[in-house]
Amino acid sequence: MEITSTMVKELRTKTGAGMMDCKEALASVDGDFEKAIDYLRKKGLSAATKRSSKAAKDGTVASYIHMGGRIGVMVEINCETDFVAKTDGFQTMARDIAMHIAASNPLCVHPDEIAEDALNREKEIYRSQLRDEKKPEKIWDKIIEGKLKKYYEDVCLIEQKFVKNQDITVGTLISNMIAKTGENIIIRRFSRFQLGEEIKQ
């Protein structure tokens, strides 16, 4: 099957992967779009797994100011070398993630950063709901597991749908950049400020 530039462009828009990677993916699965997406995701995750043991000590601190100065974000994203840190692709990704944080207001980067008492509070809310709905107790654990997954997607940066491309998560965006650069890349930390938000004592 002939792989057209339109097909490549569409796959690139949907996945955020590089043009040559998209062409290779489509060619390897005879132009099947869904299989090409799976191919790219597996490749990205594979690259991410291989690189995860490498020290990411370089990178950048990106910022984003929104709504006439009412919301501001700073995010630290690390990679292995100054060379990659200075590339347009890496800098653009960092600014996009800062903008995403401004828009989506995550609580943390990864699910494992959520405090245990906060998780227990969520689970107790779910149990209470299931009790009120008179759901059989034997299926509670499975339902709670599904609700927690949705909770992570709402509050964890890595699990959130990327604001500029709802077909991928921020985690997939990072994996695609790892596959493209061949370096380990991590979101280290972020701070989000909103003018006038309540100050906790």
Per-residue model confidence as pLDDT tens digits over 71-108: 999 999 999 999 999 999 999 999 999 999 999 999 99
Tell whether domain 58-109+156-194 is in CATH 3.65.10.10: no
In single-letter form, the type of residue at position 2 comes to E
- In tens, the pLDDT along 6-40 reads 888 887 766 666 677 788 888 888 888 888 878 87
Per-residue DSSP letter, 111: G
In whole angstroms, give the CA distance from residue 43 to residue 49. Answer: 10
Query: What global pTM score does this model have?
Result: 0.68
In single-letter form, the type of residue at position 60 comes to T
CATH architecture under which domain 5-51 falls:
Orthogonal Bundle (1.10)
Q: E strand or H helix at 33, and its extent?
A: helix 33-51
Q: Is the per-residue pLDDT at 138 higher than 50?
A: yes
Do 147 and 121 form a contact (C-beta atoms < 8 A)?
Answer: no
Mean pLDDT of 98-120: 91
- CB neighbours (10 Å) of residue 106? 17
Domain spans, the chain: 5-51, 58-109+156-194, 115-154
What is the reported pLDDT for 200? 52
